[in-house]
Structure 1
Amino acid sequence: MPRLIIDTDPGVDDAFALALAARSPEVDLLAVTTVFGNVGLAATTHNALRVLALCGREDVPVAVGAARPLVHPQPREATAAHGADGLSGRAATLPARGRGVEPVDAVTLMAQVLQASPEPVTLVPIGPLTNIALLLAAHPGVKPKIDRLVIMGGGLSGGNCTAAAEFNLWCDPEAARRVLVVEDLPTVLVPIDLTYRCAVDNHWLARLAATGPIGAALDSLTGVYRAHYRESMGFDGTVIHDAVAVAEAIRPGILATTRLPVAVETAFGPARGSVIADRRLTSFADESGARPIDVALDTDLDALRAFILSRLS
């Protein structure tokens, strides 16, 4: 049974991802930690608590993490895509959770959960990587308890918030470089090159809404998000980026990966926050400072969508 800690900044696609983990019977969801990102930290924490309440998961501890990047301020939030509250203005319609946040911060909770776990745990960061960078810097002794990192972020062929950079990594490039390049943990990176291909259309969302109260509630959160993709892509549906990464964490191998050396650009300029993957059939990566990780580049799209729908419903 996969044992997961999800680090998240809900966000509409984060809400789908969190519900996917919370509703999957084959998962032991040990903790959820929150980070700034799509909206501010107070809102991401509020949203995480309410999504867990929607899924009936009072048992899962939630801890509050970083409110800002490691070094430089976050340039902007993603309210244009997710709405001012992160959930298309619908956060308050979700049920309140009786259990609030833990009395310790996110890094401390992750360290405690990892140390107490009898088996290795998969960390699933689906927001900026600030909390994970802080955990690995402050508690290097927990690394043997980490089975792997499954990270949603980056774009090999371009970005979604700048021409070069994907939002999660662009929010804190220094943390992204620390986690993806400097550390040595087994890592799967799920970039937007794949997640855009995994988009779900209005028919899929209608099927989800028809499954019952949870599916209907999740669908109701997509209004602003769907309008954003309708305007930017001419597509009536939505891209559930983070749920694709959580699917891989739940069912290892559902995504097909390619081992590639990657680097993260931290200099100021048009490429800041971008992932640079070395696809050359040589060993030049040893000279570039890049680190080989598994990058998810393909999947059976219909099977993935069916898997996510089955768990959410």
Structure 2
Amino acid sequence: MTTPLIIDTDPGVDDAFALALAAASPEVELIGVTTVFGNVGLADTTRNALRLRALLGREDVPVAAGADRPLVHPHPHLSSAHGSDGLSGRAATLPEPTRGTDPRDAVTLMRELLEAADRPVTIVPIGPLTNVALLLAAHPRLKEKIGRLVVMGGGVDGGNITAAAEFNLWSDPEAARRVLVEEDVPTTVVPMDLTHRCAVTAEWLAELGRTSARAAALVGLTADYLTTYRRFLGFDGIVVHDAVAVAEAIRPGLLTGTPYAVDVDCTFGPGRGALVVDRRLESRAPGNLTVATDTDLDGVRAFLFERLSSL
């Protein structure tokens, strides 16, 4: 039996790979996509999601627009890693959608999908957590319909947008704290420490691009993203952060998780948006939240290639 899956996203190059992975995986049923501000503004993230849906031949999946700003404080700035439009300036190379956004907002779509589900739904937030925080705040009774959250976000040993904070959590720390600290939904956090270790090379991307027209279109979106990693990390490849989280949603247990107590820094100092992980042995008690800490790295890359090459 397939697992119903909702992806909450801010496409984003790695988000594009994540959506494609879900579309290519028979273990899950992609029942909805919701968009949020993040890598670029909400209008662009939503437009990108619609074009990616068209590329993947999944016009049946509803796409609903969500939050265009954080819960409380203004968003300082958007990411530059993904280019001017979120897809390396190449969003227009994707097919024009034949279906527009769902008339419902993101929270309403998620609510109605959860209410209608006959089995637990996995939600994979791979952008700022604003939409999910709003869902849980407005509809706490629906928590029982959520099988698991698989959240791409945070860094155990530092960040990427600041020295301390990873972009998704930093974009709305108050929402992140609401979801990761104050709620009790079973949650797996996939931090950038692990996703960086799952990075793929430019050669891997080139090989993937030769497998199909859809794969080639995906790879064609990576130019600015590749430039960013070459410039900042000296690495000829990319980190497909969000696809690693979706891989765990597709194959639970693909990533090794450790039960940690966590917090999110919501102060206004240099640590704002940081994921604070208590790694003391005495604090490791079984709970609702685990942090993904390890995996078979080559196995993850092979899984991604196998699925994405089947598009």
User: TM-score, length-normalised on structure 2?
Assistant: 0.97
Residue from 292, 296, 309 that aligns with 1:296: 292
8 A contact 1:260–1:292 mirrored in 2: no
8 A contact 2:149–2:187 mirrored in 1: yes
Residues 127-146 of structure 1: pairs in structure 2 closer than 5 A: 127-146=127-146
Which sections of structure 2, spanning at least 5 residues, go unmatched? Answer: none
Q: How much has 1:154 moved relative to structure 2?
A: 0.1
Residues 275-290 of structure 1: pairs in structure 2 closer than 5 A: 275-283=275-283
8 A contact 2:7–2:34 mirrored in 1: yes
8 A contact 2:260–2:277 mirrored in 1: yes
In 1, Cα distance between equivalents of 2:60 and 2:306: 22
1:73 equivalent in alignment to 2:74? yes
Give the residue type in structure 2 aligned to 1:302. D
Once the two structures are superposed, residues 22-66 of structure 1 have per-residue CA deviations (whole angstroms, 9 ceiling, x without a partner) of: 121221001000000000000000001111111100110000000
Matching residue of 1:190:
190
Taking a change above 3 Å as real, the CA distance of residues 275 and 184 of structure 1, as seen in their structure-2 partners, is same
Matching residue of 1:310:
306
Matching residue of 1:102:
102
Once the two structures are superposed, residues 193-241 of structure 1 have per-residue CA deviations (whole angstroms, 9 ceiling, x without a partner) of: 1000000001210111000101100110000000000001111110000
8 A contact 2:260–2:283 mirrored in 1: no
Once the two structures are superposed, residues 80-119 of structure 1 have per-residue CA deviations (whole angstroms, 9 ceiling, x without a partner) of: 2000100000001100111111111000000000000000
Matching residue of 2:54:
53
In 2, Cα distance between equivalents of 1:252 and 1:300: 13
Matching residue of 2:232:
232
Taking a change above 3 Å as real, the CA distance of residues 247 and 283 of structure 1, as seen in their structure-2 partners, is closer
8 A contact 2:133–2:176 mirrored in 1: yes
Which sections of structure 1, spanning at least 5 residues, go unmatched? Answer: 286-290
Secondary structure of the corresponding residue to residue 161 of structure 2? coil
Taking a change above 3 Å as real, the CA distance of residues 228 and 284 of structure 1, as seen in their structure-2 partners, is closer
8 A contact 1:173–1:264 mirrored in 2: yes
Give the residue type in structure 1 aligned to 2:205. L
Secondary structure of the corresponding residue to residue 52 of structure 2? helix
8 A contact 2:260–2:284 mirrored in 1: no
Matching residue of 1:207:
207
Taking a change above 3 Å as real, the CA distance of residues 282 and 311 of structure 1, as seen in their structure-2 partners, is same
Q: How much has 1:15 moved relative to structure 2?
A: 0.6
Runs of 4+ in structure 1 off by over 6 angstroms are: none
In 2, Cα distance between equivalents of 1:302 and 1:281: 29
In 2, Cα distance between equivalents of 1:215 and 1:236: 19
Give the residue type in structure 2 aligned to 1:190. V
Matching residue of 1:13:
14
In 2, Cα distance between equivalents of 1:281 and 1:252: 24
Once the two structures are superposed, residues 157-180 of structure 1 have per-residue CA deviations (whole angstroms, 9 ceiling, x without a partner) of: 000000000000000000000000
In 1, Cα distance between equivalents of 2:284 and 2:185: 21
In 1, Cα distance between equivalents of 2:15 and 2:66: 16
User: TM-score, length-normalised on structure 1?
Assistant: 0.97
Cα-Cα RMSD? 1.3
Give the residue type in structure 2 aligned to 1:278. D
Matching residue of 1:32:
33
In 2, Cα distance between equivalents of 1:222 and 1:231: 14
Q: How much has 1:184 moved relative to structure 2?
A: 0.3
In 2, Cα distance between equivalents of 1:214 and 1:23: 11
Matching residue of 2:111:
111
Matching residue of 1:288:
none
